Chain A
Amino acid sequence: KQEVTQIPAALSVPEGENLVLNCSFTDSAIYNLQWFRQDPGKGLTSLLLIQSSQREQTSGRLNASLDKSSGRSTLYIAASQPGDSATYLCAVTTGGSNYKLTFGKGTLLTVNP
């Protein structure tokens, strides 16, 4: 059974700092990996999707990497801003089950002005 772990569970940083969120998964036979953002009381917004054949994806100040063989992904946020404060969730689609996502429990990020 696929399990997804996110470390740390919570992170507080000053504005302007670069930071890294970590995600690990137990079954490396994944189809893709996604990073989501969730604001309080809201649904999830997809940030980046990395296919299993890719090593990284970038969108603005966000960069996500994938090391499938070691079962790890990182989300790098450059020059953090208070508006980046949210919960960040990692999810994988495991090979053979192309429709279903398995989620980690998330990292709660607070960026202090």
Chain B
Amino acid sequence: NAGVTQTPKFQVLKTGQSMTLQCAQDMNHNSMYWYRQDPGMGLRLIYYSASEGTTDKGEVPNGYNVSRLNKREFSLRLESAAPSQTSVYFCASKTMEGEPQHFGDGTRLSIL
């Protein structure tokens, strides 16, 4: 039972480099989400996809882009990484309104 799988688990980038974080879920969920978690700030929503083919901005979308590749996969791209994007990134999914979100184990990203 894989649930929500995020790759990579750890990554170190230099300022200005680009990178795509991958997320896949095997629960046939409709909605998918990207969050970042920072000390003292809690979890904040970056982007979400309510259903396949749609994406919307969350609370902190600047500097990020997303792609809902198909129902299973939702990727997050940093085009030009900045030190302020050092964080732990979580992907989540859920099947429908009123149901709980299921989270992956996170990607720990450091930008030097």
User: Which residue of chain A has the shortest Cβ distance to B41 in the bound complex?
Assistant: A105
A46 touches B41 (CB 8 A): no
A46 touches B43 (CB 8 A): no
Which one of A36, A44, A105 lies within 8 Å of B40 (CB-CB)? A105
CB proximity to A under 8 Å, residues B7-58: 31, 33, 40-45, 48, 50, 58
B103 touches A99 (CB 8 A): no
A46 touches B102 (CB 8 A): yes
Also in contact, A99 and B90, with CB within 8 A (given A42-B105, A46-B101, A105-B42): no
Which residue, of B31, B45, B58, B100, has the highest number of chain A Cβ atoms within 10 A?
B100
Which one of B33, B41, B50, B103 lies within 8 Å of A45 (CB-CB)? B103
Q: Which secondary structure dominates chain A's binding surface? A: strand
Cβ–Cβ < 8 Å partners of A34 in chain B: 100-101
CB proximity to B under 8 Å, residues A16-61: 31-32, 34, 36, 41-46, 49, 51
Cβ–Cβ < 8 Å partners of A103 in chain B: 42-44
Complex Cα distance, B98 from A101, in Å, reads: 11
B42 touches A104 (CB 8 A): yes
Complex Cα distance, B81 from A90, in Å, reads: 30
Which one of A43, A46, A91 lies within 8 Å of B90 (CB-CB)? A43
A44 touches B42 (CB 8 A): no
Which one of B40, B48, B100, B102 lies within 8 Å of A100 (CB-CB)? B48
Residues of A within 8 A of B (CB): 31-32, 34, 36, 41-46, 49, 51, 89, 91, 98-101, 103-106
Extra contacts, 10 of them, besides A43-B4, A46-B102 (Cβ < 8 A), are A31-B97, A34-B101, A43-B90, A44-B101, A46-B101, A49-B100, A100-B45, A100-B48, A101-B33, A103-B43
Return 28 A-B CB contacts under 8 Å, by A number.
A31-B97, A31-B98, A32-B98, A34-B101, A42-B106, A43-B103, A43-B104, A43-B106, A44-B43, A44-B90, A44-B92, A45-B103, A46-B100, A46-B101, A46-B102, A49-B100, A89-B42, A99-B31, A99-B48, A99-B97, A100-B33, A100-B48, A100-B58, A101-B33, A101-B43, A101-B101, A103-B43, A105-B41
